[in-house]
Structure 1
Amino acid sequence: MMGATCVAALCAPAQAQVAPPFATLLRQTADAPRRIESEAEVRRYEGLARQARARPNPTIGVLTENVAGSSPYRGVDRAETTLQYSQPLEIGGKRSARIAAGEAGVAASRARDHDAKIRYAYDLARAYAAADVADQRIMLVEGEVEQAQNILRAARVLVDAGKEARLRALQAEAALNAVTADLEGTKADRIAAYARLSALAGVDETFTGLSESLLTVPVAAPAYGPVDPMTSSSFLAAQAEREAAERRLTAEQKRAIPDVTAIVGVRRLDYENATALTAGVSIPLNIFDRNRGNIAASEAEAQAAAARLAMARNDAIAEARAAGAQIAAAQSRVAAAEASQRTAEETYRLARIAYEAGKSPLVELLNARQGLGAARGIVLDAKVASFEARAQLARLQGRTLSGGEIQ
């Protein structure tokens, strides 16, 4: 029992470092920094929208006149005290324009948040796949190291038997050293890939392994359908931002209209022992500040938002057209690369048999080993390209790799 407890205690941290399946990891990263930032922006615009509905505050003032002057106003007998209430009145649709701008800002922030969620899922999938690729590249290079070691042993056997010159053993040893150096570089790339995945997921402890491989996860059947570029999250976000910019421009134009302030007061006349009402209206003169700078800035912002919308539309159309073709091409590329790998494996097998039998030179075996390693690398690259195409299609459709829609 004590031994089992110790084993469980030692294995628990290692298991905690293994990244869960991608769908689970995506659900668990709701508090990742990128997700929190995007959601905080939505709350910020919701607060601004609530503030846009607020009306101007009234002003209450007390004014005393005809006191502490020269005779007959030396004392306070002739004092006139006025209690005044002032209320600014927004005219010209200023408040409604401000409210519309606030609501459009909230809609734009929500569209950006939805686009950010989709892009985060896409980036997280790519980081997850990059860690998977790093693992598989290590396996490939380790296989090349093992093959190079076998070639070196075979070369030394032939050298000892006097059937090969010592130079051949040195050549085989040099080839082994080269692939061993590649292995060390591949291990460093793996550490970097897992560090990026952990940082993107917002976890404190770096992952050391994966629970599944995304390179072989198929896209759900509905996700293979045509992509409507006008429904992509990036286009909808740009469209909402243009609408918000136009609403802000209207609000700034309305701000140039002067406000009217209504004034109502009660005046106490001490000398006459009487009370009187006062009323008035004040209107500012737009002589110096006509809000022209803010209007010009809003016009430029609206033009920039329209340009971004046009670019987003063009990008969405291009990506939608390319999505289906890229998936079909990637699948054909994988099939062709796997066929080439099978040929390279057979070539290496025959070259090794021939060399060990003394019927072919070492250089042919080394070339066959290099060709096999290159073929395996091409297969892995083809699978990565296929994954990239599937991930891009899922991003355009606002879905995860498994076909679930991102809310």
Structure 2
Amino acid sequence: MPPSYRRPQRFAVGCALAALAAVLASPAWADPAPSFAELLAQLDQTPATLEAGALSDAAEARVRQARVRPNPTIALESANAFGTGPFSGYSNAETTLSLSQSLELWGRRTARINLARAEASTVSLQRDLAIVDAAGRLALTYAEAEAAQRQAVLAEENLTLTVADARAALALVEEGREPLLRGIQGESEAAAARARRDEAIAEQEAAFARLTAVAMLPDPVTTIDSSLLNRIPAGAIPAPAEAPTVRVASAQRDAAERRIAIERIRSRPDVTASVGVRRYEVEDATALTFGISLPLPLFDRNRGNIEAAQADFRAAEARFLTARQNAQADRAAARARLSASASRVAASDAGVTAADEAYRLSRIGFEAGRISQLELRVSRTALVAARTSAVDARLARVRAEIELARQDGRAPFQGAQ
């Protein structure tokens, strides 16, 4: 056999080995991940929701503590005892046992309870928002893992098609219908496709590792059987009266207003009443004592704290207005992106069908000698690009649904098909 044909034979062997390696690289076992609905049902066990729940419990405990009145103070005092002269012993002593209690005038207790309730309401709304964010993060991680799995499959299919095209080119070279350069080009394309396949597998493994960590699964995920990318988001869902971010900002504004009332009350004297019994040893007699004490507001009238609370309220009011404006714009943008992503998915699916048919016809034409290898390569590249675009379109649809669900204060794909 002439020397010009030895390289194509070695190339054919290399292609066959590459195809065999592609098959052997597929996992022999698989541990499928639970469905997104199953993982969503276990969302309350994730660290983010556990933290949010603990903070809410702490806020409710502070509300209960705010209702508690201050403890009374009991005091025992002896005077005129163990001195000098007539007071050398305890016979002339005066002993007083008294009980003091803060009266909490000016609505101190009510203001304290109202502030604790406002802060607890804020934390409760933040907990709900944290759960929604955790659900969105789980959905995105799940969708990205599924997309990586599909990209790995597409890279494997691309390698298979590239090897098949290279073998077809080799057959034409051996028949003398194509120059040796075509075989070398096919070998180069197969090597590039093999590298892309290896990269896609690495990305898949990384995405599965992220899903295993985010979902707190006991065993590593190696495959996804229940598709989230193919789920169609729910139809028109009525917009909530207020977005979760707006409700949180509103609650923070209310809490800031309650703090102003607290600081104003603190500027007023804290009146303490006391009652007691006094024992006179020298007369062998007892008498009642009572009194009222309060601080004189000569130096500290709490003006700085009042002004600071008022400034905090103005800042909270500005955040509330900003949150309301952003929520309206963000929800409209999310709905527009979701609608556009649905159109993109439909267009990409049609593009895959057309590209698949174009590649099939190109392959027939190439084997018949009516189409060049360059035209076959272009049709194969278009097919791979169309399939990749279809995966990206579905991932974009999931992202749009996650953002819209966050604006609505719900988990993604609730009520979806």
| CA deviation string 1:249-278 (max 9, x = no partner) | 322222222201112121111111111221
CA–CA separation in structure 2 for the residues paired with 1:22 and 1:242: 36
Counterpart CA distance in 2 for 1:162 and 1:37 is 71
Matched, 1:394 2:408: no
Q: Quick one: distance in 2 between partners of 1:206 and 1:292?
A: 59
Asked if residue 322 in structure 1 is aligned to residue 336 in structure 2, the reply is: no
CA distance in 1: counterparts of 2:153 and 2:298, whole angstroms: 76
- What residue number does 2:72 align with? 58
Over 3 Å counting, the alpha-carbon distance change for 1:305 and 1:203 in structure 2 is farther
Residue 130 (structure 2) aligns with: 116
Paired residue secondary structure (1:266): strand
- Deviation, 1:383, is 1.7
Aligned counterpart, 2:376: 365
TM-score (norm: length of structure 2): 0.87
How far apart are 1:401 and its partner, in Å? 4.2
Report the AA paired with residue 290 of structure 2. A
Taking the aligned partners of 1:204 and 1:241, their CA distance within structure 2 comes to 39
| CA distance in structure 2 between the partners assigned to 1:218 and 1:129 by the alignment | 13
Secondary structure of the residue aligned to 2:71 is coil
Residue 37 of structure 1 corresponds to which residue in structure 2?
51
Runs of 5+ unmatched residues, structure 2? 1-28
SS at match of 2:100: strand
The aligned amino acid for 2:102 is P
Q: How does 1:194-213 map to 2 (within 5 A)?
A: 194-213=208-227
Change in CA separation of 1:98 and 1:20 when aligned onto 2, cut-off 3 Å: same
What displacement does 1:26 show?
Answer: 0.8
SS of the counterpart of 2:42? helix
Is contact 1:217-1:401 (8 Å) kept? Answer: no
| Aligned counterparts of 2:220 and 2:308: Cα–Cα separation in 1 | 46
Instruction: Report the Cα offset of residue 198 of structure 1.
Output: 2.2
Please tell me the residue identity of whatever aligns with 2:114.
Answer: A
The within-5 A match list for 1:60-79 is 60-79=74-93
Question: 1:291–1:181: structure 2 CA closer, same or farther, 3 Å change rule?
Answer: farther
Which amino acid is 1:67 matched to? A
Is 1:349 the equivalent of 2:360? yes
Q: CA deviation at 1:32?
A: 1.0
Give me the whole-angstrom Cα distance separating, in 2, the residues matched to 1:122 and 1:70. Answer: 81
SS in 2 for 1:257: coil
**Residues 195, 141 of structure 1: alpha-carbon distance in 2 compared, 3 angstrom cutoff:** same
Indicate how the Cα distance of structure 1 residues 261 and 179 shifts in structure 2: closer, same or farther if over 3 A, else same: same
2:201 maps to 1:182: no
Q: Distance in 1 between matches of 2:202 and 2:311?
A: 48
Asked whether the equivalents of residues 33 and 202 of structure 1 are also in contact (C-alpha less than 8 Å), the reply is no
2:62 — aligned with what?
48
Structure 1 equivalent of residue 109 of structure 2? 95
Aligned AA (2:72): P
C-alpha distance in 2 between matches for 1:343 and 1:296 = 69
Inter-partner Cα distance in structure 2 for 1:255 and 1:275:
37
Contact 1:29 1:202 in 2 (8 A): no
Q: 1:29 to 1:207 in 2, by over 3 A?
A: farther
Q: What CA RMSD, in Å, does the superposition of the two structures yield over aligned residues? A: 2.1
Code of the aligned partner of 1:326: R
- CA deviation profile, 1:65-100 (whole Å, cap 9, x unmatched): 112222121111111111111111211111111100
Q: Say which of 86, 103, 106 aligns to 2:100.
A: 86
Give the equivalent residue in structure 2 for 1:384. 395
Matches within 5 A, 1:286-301: 286-301=297-312
Cα pair 2:43 2:135 within 8 Å, conserved: no
Q: Do the aligned partners of 1:148 and 1:175 also contact (CA within 8 Å) in 2?
A: yes
Identity, % of aligned positions = 42
> Does 2:286 correspond to 1:272?
no
CA distance in 2, matches of 1:301, 1:195: 43
Say yes or no: does 1:243 pair with 2:257.
no
Structure 1 residues 15-30: aligned runs within 5 Å: 17-30=31-44
Partner of 1:233: 244
* TM-score, structure 1 normalization: 0.89
1:281 and 2:292 matched: yes
1:170 equivalent among 184, 189, 193: 184
Give aligned pairs, total. 388
Deviations 1:160-216 (A, max 9, x none): 223222222221121122122122222222222222222222234332222411112
Question: 1:257: which partner in 2?
Answer: 268
* CA displacement at 1:344 relative to structure 2: 1.8
For the residues of structure 1 that align with 2:306 and 2:174, how far apart are their CA atoms? 89
Residue of 294, 301, 314 corresponding to 1:303 = 314
Contact 2:345 2:393 in 1 (8 A): yes
Conserved? CA contact 1:112–1:237, under 8 Å: yes
When residues 162 and 25 of structure 1 are mapped into structure 2, their CA distance, relative to the original with a 3 A threshold, is same
Structure 1 range deviating more: 359-368 or 285-294: 285-294
Residues 19 and 25 of structure 1 are in contact (CA less than 8 Å); yes or no, is this contact kept in structure 2?
Answer: no
Question: For 1:215-241, what per-residue CA distance to the aligned partner results, in whole angstroms no more than 9, with x for missing partners?
Answer: 1212344xx14424x432222122122
CA distance in 2, matches of 1:193, 1:307: 40
| One-letter identity of the residue aligned with 1:327 | L
Q: How far does the alpha carbon of each residue in 1:283-336 deviate from its partner, in whole angstroms, 9 at most, with x for none?
A: 112345444454344334323322322222122101222343323322222222
Matched AA of 1:78: N
Change (3 A) 1:185 1:100: same
Gaps of 5+ in 1: 1-13
Secondary structure of the corresponding residue to residue 268 of structure 1 = strand
| 4+ residue segments displaced more than 4 Å | none
